[in-house]
């Protein structure tokens, strides 16, 4: 039985075990995928324990994506230069390889599933934590007209934009935010506490597409807030979760799961 896990805090909300279970079924792979609640400062210990148990790898979620970098012997693929890791691959040699599949997950969900273009659109990214850091370069590669970053702690937004210098990218205070962004992406973890970031209503227009990396069975607080302001087009991060998981599954097993099938199965 192949052992996998997702490490985070909080972790109870995670649907990754179900997703990887359905992927595994598509290929007849026998695996266990557990949720591990990691205390603050406990990531290295938790990863070491998984390796000791012979696990194949793990996913890393809030708030440990930056800390996971220090546990990698080598950083691979999209994670090179990113500073944040969401997938660890434990090689038979004993090496730990670090990857980041969040950006691929987000862009695939936005473009392929939700038919959203990013090119030439005004984009607002809310948050400057591990998830936001992981998606900024990929969003810039899509050539938005502007990519503004707002974070509750402004210094972190300033730090984030210095990692990917671009004339299109800017950190903004609440007062500096534009009106009616074309695309608003909430990459804050406010939803995990049942709240929405405290933002001015002018950022939303009827045609703003509002995307929340958080996901839940009912509409997330951020999407409820956007809906109340007339944003007709909204989506949560469940599609991203499935796509980033598929990319991790490819890293571990070298096969590409059918994500549409899993989305249908889990939403039915
Ligand atoms: P993180 O590294 O802990 O960062 C949290 C971010 O949220 C920080 O920017 C923090 O601001 C901000 N924040 C927290 N509470 C807030 C509040 N009440 N109001 C405004 N901002 C607040 O977490 P992360 O790894 O970036 O994850 C962020 C979220 O994305 C989580 O909900 C996670 O589940 C979700 N996510 C989803 C997927 C997916 O596949 N759907 C993938 C990755 C992440 P400060 O800097 O001021 O603390």
Q: Over the stretch 166-182, which tens digit does the pLDDT of each residue have?
A: 999 999 999 999 999 99
- Asked if the domains at 2-100+239-267 and 103-236 fall in one CATH topology, the answer is yes
CA nearest neighbour of 125 among 104, 100, 150, 144: 150
In the set 3, 35, 65, 172, the catalytic residue is 65
Residue 152 makes CB contacts below 8 A (sequence gap 6+) with 188, 197, 198
Pocket test residue of 189, 190, 193, 248 for ligand 1, highest count of atoms within 8 A of CB: 189
Question: Angle between the 238-253 and 16-27 helix axes, to the nearest 10 degrees?
Answer: 50
Nearest residue CA, atom 25 of ligand 1? 62
What is the reported pTM? 0.96
Looking at the chain, the whole-number percentage of residues with pLDDT higher than 70 is 100
Please determine, for residue 268, whether its predicted confidence score (pLDDT) is greater than 90: no
Ligand 1 centroid–CA 237 distance in Å is: 12
* 3-class secondary structure, 22: helix
The domain limits of the chain are 2-100+239-267, 103-236
Portion of the chain with pLDDT greater than 90, in percent = 99
65 is an active site residue = yes
User: Would you give the end-to-end CA distance of the chain in angstroms?
Assistant: 28
What is the residue-averaged pLDDT of the chain?
97
CATH number given to 2-100+239-267: 3.40.50.10860
Spell out the CATH class of 103-236.
alpha beta
């Amino acid at each position: 039985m192949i052992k996998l896990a997702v490490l985070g805090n909080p972790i109870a909300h995670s649907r990754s075990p179900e997703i990887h279970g359905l992927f595994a079924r598509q290929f007849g792979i026998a695996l266990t995928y557990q949720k591990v609640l990691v205390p603050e400062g406990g990531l290295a210990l938790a990863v070491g324990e998984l390796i000791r148990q012979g696990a194949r790898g793990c996913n890393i979620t809030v708030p440990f994506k930056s800390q996971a970098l220090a546990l990698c012997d080598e950083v691979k693929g999209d994670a090179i230069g990113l500073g944040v890791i969401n997938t660890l691959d434990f090689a038979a040699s004993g090496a730990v390889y670090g990857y980041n599949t969040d950006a691929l997950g987000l862009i695939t969900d936005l473009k392929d599933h939700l038919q959203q273009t990013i090119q030439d659109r005004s984009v607002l990214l809310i948050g400057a934590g591990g998830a936001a850091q992981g998606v900024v370069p990929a969003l810039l590669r899509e050539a938005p007209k502007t990519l503004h970053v707002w974070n509750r702690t402004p210094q972190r937004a300033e730090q984030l934009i210095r990692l990917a210098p671009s004339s299109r990218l800017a950190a903004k205070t609440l007062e500096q935010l534009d009106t009616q962004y074309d695309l608003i992406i909430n990459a804050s973890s406010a939803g995990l506490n049942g709240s929405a970031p405290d933002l001015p209503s002018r950022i939303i227009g009827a045609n703003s597409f509002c995307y929340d990396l958080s996901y839940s069975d009912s509409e997330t607080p951020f999407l409820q807030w956007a809906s109340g302001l007339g944003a007709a087009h909204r989506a949560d991060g469940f599609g991203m979760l499935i796509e980033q998981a598929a990319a991790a599954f490819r890293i571990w097993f070298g096969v590409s799961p059918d994500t549409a099938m899993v989305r249908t199965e889990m939403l039915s």
